[in-house]
Amino acid sequence: MTKYSLINCYSDNNKGDLGIILSTIDYIRNNDHNADIIGVSTYNYSDPSYHTEHVLLNKTIDVYPSIFGELNIGHYKSQPIKLIKFFWETIRLILLLIIPVFISSKFLFSKNEKKTFLRLKESDYIISKGGSFICNDFNLRSKIALLRFVYIFLVSFKLNKKVIILNQSIGPVYGRFSIKIVNYILKKCDKVVLRENECIEQYQYLNFPKDTIISNDIAFYLEPKEVITNFEDGNINIGITMKYVDKGKESEYQTMWIVFIEYILQNYKNTKIIIFNQVPIDNDIEASWRIYKEINDICKDKIVFMTNDYESSMLKYLYGKMNFFVGTRLHSTIFAMGELVPSISISYHGTKSEGIFKNMGVAEFVVKEYDYNVLINQFNKLFLHTDKCKDILKNKLSDYQAQMKMDFTKIFNDK
């Protein structure tokens, strides 16, 4: 029996992240029927989030607490105490890396951390599951967060484990030290599988291995779970996801949505806008509500809020009932395209949107700036080429699914 540990499991309440994890579990089990899989949280056992953010995932696999955990959460609320905690745990990591494992594991970890450490020690593969967390921004806070995020990689290397980066986006990375440590991780990993080639093209300061595999986002293949709906078949149903964006761009973002929604509802007959709750942990519905209040009153009776906290597989099913999808949340468009729904992505971070849409043969339907003219033009074009878009998505999904099956033996190379 082969043991797999999925590290950096984040939250049930980020539906894209949960969808990635569930799809990864299915991918492994479909190719290795006797696989023994566990997850390792981003949260330490002492953090309340560890006990609340993995309720759904725990129904599928056991989720162990992080050894170090995220910096900005937990019992410690004041910034000075958080910094003291950060420096202490950095020292703890250094000691772990220089002291023999059989000594450090006895004295440096709490009881619950020891359980995670022992499971990592037993693992045949440690998998950094998909997403885009290996990146940072210019600010010091983000650089520290990246450092904390990669601690578990360093622990895994100390244990001489095979570490796989599986279907992730990597970059951008800012700061000499941050770049150095990411390059160290890329060098030490047994295999690196990227979900888009743009990472290599745009971040040439990162030393990706020559045998890097280019694949796709694994959440395309999440199995949908049926939900009873009352969407009217006679309507053009357009699914939407919104989010809070940086304050400097907030006004442009809101204006883009307001003008777009009013234009669509006034120019396309029998159209409904369906606003979904993709990431409850980031208050997506609250962000959407702020925009809704500014929309012309004559349009509001054609806008529906889906505020229920649906599971990832349920959201995918619901998105499949849409005629079109326009999402700021990338995984909302991935779920939709996985159900052959023509989609537009509002890009807000790194290469991930343009890379994944390029993978799917629909790169032109990424909006890179908060411009309502661009968004309206893209939707009009998408509407005119609906059938062609569906055919492209269908063929690409089939091709990538076949490729991923073949890649399994390359990635987990002792099978």
CATH code of the domain covering residue 21: 3.40.50
256-276, pLDDT tens digit by residue?
A: 999 999 999 999 999 999 999
Q: Is the pLDDT of residue 117 over 50?
A: yes
- Say if residue 199 is in the same domain as residue 242: no
- In which band, very low, low, confident or very high, does the pLDDT at 79 lie, cut at 50, 70 and 90? low
Cα end-to-end distance, the chain, whole Å: 11
pLDDT at 75: 47
Residue 228 counted as domain residue: no
Range of the domain at 266: 236-384
- Of 26, 2, 117, 11, residue with least CA distance to 73: 11
| pLDDT score of 274 | 96
- How crowded is residue 196: how many other Cβ atoms within 10 Å of its Cβ? 27
Residue pLDDT, tens place only, 45-78: 988 899 999 999 999 999 999 988 775 444 445 6
Backbone angles phi, psi at 354, to 5 degrees: -65, -35
* Same-domain status, 254 and 310: yes
Q: Are 245 and 348 in contact (CB under 8 A)?
A: yes
In the chain, how many domains are there? 2
Residues 154 and 257 in one domain: no
DSSP-based helix, strand, coil % in the chain, nearest 5: 50, 15, 35
State the pLDDT at residue 78: 62
CATH code for the domain of 350:
3.40.50.2000
Same-domain status, 177 and 285 = no
Q: Which residues pair with 37 in a beta bridge?
A: 4
One domain, residues 141 and 207: yes
State pLDDT tens for residues 355-405: 999 999 999 999 999 999 999 999 999 999 999 999 999 999 999 999 999
Q: Is residue 395 part of a domain?
A: no
364, two tokens: 């032109």
In sequence order, what are the beta bridge partners of 66?
A: 44
Q: What backbone torsions phi and psi does residue 120 show, to the nearest 5 degrees?
A: -60, -40
Q: Is 341 exposed, middle or buried (0-12, 13-18, 19+ CB in 10 A)?
A: buried
This prediction has a pTM of 0.92
